[in-house]
Amino acid sequence: MGAAADMNGFVKVATLAEVPEGYPHLVEVGLSRIALFNLGGEIHALEDMCTHDGGPLVEGDLIDGQEVQCPRHGARFDIRTGAALCMPAFQPAVRYETRVDGTDIWVAVLD
């Protein structure tokens, strides 16, 4: 996405309609692939990469409404915090700060 960041480093990446609950949504900001998740109306964002072997989290299964399971080897991550919850992953997934303004979803971009 080629949108410029606002004064606080946030970039508009999607709308609420694009991220229905239970269906992860992939966005790209520069070279970053970010998986967006809607948990009960709260938007969360993780780097779309399993810390075990780089599997695409956006293609993973949602478990118990708050976890995503990597489709390659079954590592699980807490969608809200990025914490690695089981082997084979030990490192947390990168988490991005989000905000919603009206129907627009904004993500803080890491430099």
3-state secondary structure at position 39: strand
% of the chain residues with pLDDT over 70: 93
Query: What pLDDT is stored for residue 110 in this prediction?
Result: 65
Q: Could you count the other beta carbons within 10 Å of the beta carbon of residue 100? A: 14
**Which tops the pLDDT comparison, 54 or 7?**
54
What average pLDDT does the segment 19-44 reach? 96
Per-residue pLDDT for 111 more than 90?
A: no
Per-residue pLDDT of 44-95, as tens digits, reads 999 999 999 999 999 999 999 899 999 999 999 999 999 999 999 999 999 9
pLDDT at site 4: 62
pLDDT at 3 > cutoff 90: no
pTM: 0.92
Q: How far apart are CA 106 and CA 100, in angstroms?
A: 6
